[in-house]
Amino acid sequence: MTERIIRVGHSPDPDDAFMFYGLASGKVQLPGIKIEHMLEDIQSLNERARKGELEVTAISAHAYSYVADRYWIMRTGASMGEGYGPVIISRKHSSLAELRGKTVGTPGPLTTATLLFKTFTDGIKNVDMPFDMIMEAVDKGSVDAGLLIHEGQITYESLGYKKILDFGEFWEKEAHGLPLPLGLDVVRKDLGEELAHTLSHGLKESIAYGYKHQEESLPYALQWGRGISTSLGEKFVKMYVSELTIDMGEKGKAALELLFAKGAEKGLIPRVPPIELF
């Protein structure tokens, strides 16, 4: 029997690698399906999703507002901050008030971090750049502050940067305890509901395998740790691969609805139709 090829896009980051280890290693298999892994940065995956190129892909939660006609949200695979999230940092400044009229380096137009920045700050300019160039831009003075994602969220303090705002802490109060949706996995609607559910279940099994066999999955994931220590890498993975990643449930769905409503209210994103989880 010919296997059906399903292309799965995810970013070369420790948390994504941990989630997909079971599938990537072949330890979790889906009968009749061959998974082809496409590793690209999240901004590239967001752009590919807008064209509907991949059957399953990781995207920024922000990007879903532009691809809701093509993709369903998988209930598994989401990255959600629980009291932590993207952080605005600076060398010289220590408050949002000081940044008025100044420029912040942001990690890409479709990232959720940039949506949060535009939704909840006023009078501060931004310039998009690759996420891994933001600290350097702050150091050179080409931007006044930077909005950090990925492992920068847990390394900035040891590198001597000042925290101006942690959007995870801010959101927890704003959203009355709901998690902060940052990344999603989505499945293309033209695959049909049955296959969409099969793929979502397969990813759930892959995450479960990673947790059960951390002696295999963590070293694999930390190949993409960009030089962070094993202990910091493990901390980062477990921040963003949590119970909500296994199944976001109603709590995760409510958080997404609130994020999309806030963005739409400010005219930053189109209105998102009712969310159906797969």
Catalytic residues: 150
Q: What is the dihedral of CA 46, 236, 96, 61, to 10 degrees?
A: 30
Query: How many CB atoms neighbour CB 240 within 10 A?
Result: 25
Which is nearest to 7 in space by CA: 56, 48, 47?
Answer: 56
**How many Å from the N-terminal Cα to the C-terminal Cα in the chain?**
27
Report how far residue 45's alpha carbon sits from residue 47's, in angstroms, rounded to the nearest whole number. 5
Side-chain half-sphere exposure of 85, counting CA atoms within 13 A: 27
For tokens 């998974």, name the residue. 35
Report how far residue 24's alpha carbon sits from residue 250's, in angstroms, rounded to the nearest whole number. 29
C-alpha pair distances (Å), 91 with each of 132, 141, 155 = 17, 9, 14
Report how far residue 26's alpha carbon sits from residue 275's, in angstroms, rounded to the nearest whole number. 31
Which is nearest to 31 in space by CA: 193, 190, 205, 248?
Answer: 205
For tokens 């990643």, name the residue. 245
Report how far residue 184's alpha carbon sits from residue 133's, in angstroms, rounded to the nearest whole number. 24
User: Which is it for the CA torsion 277, 251, 164, 224, positive or negative?
Assistant: negative
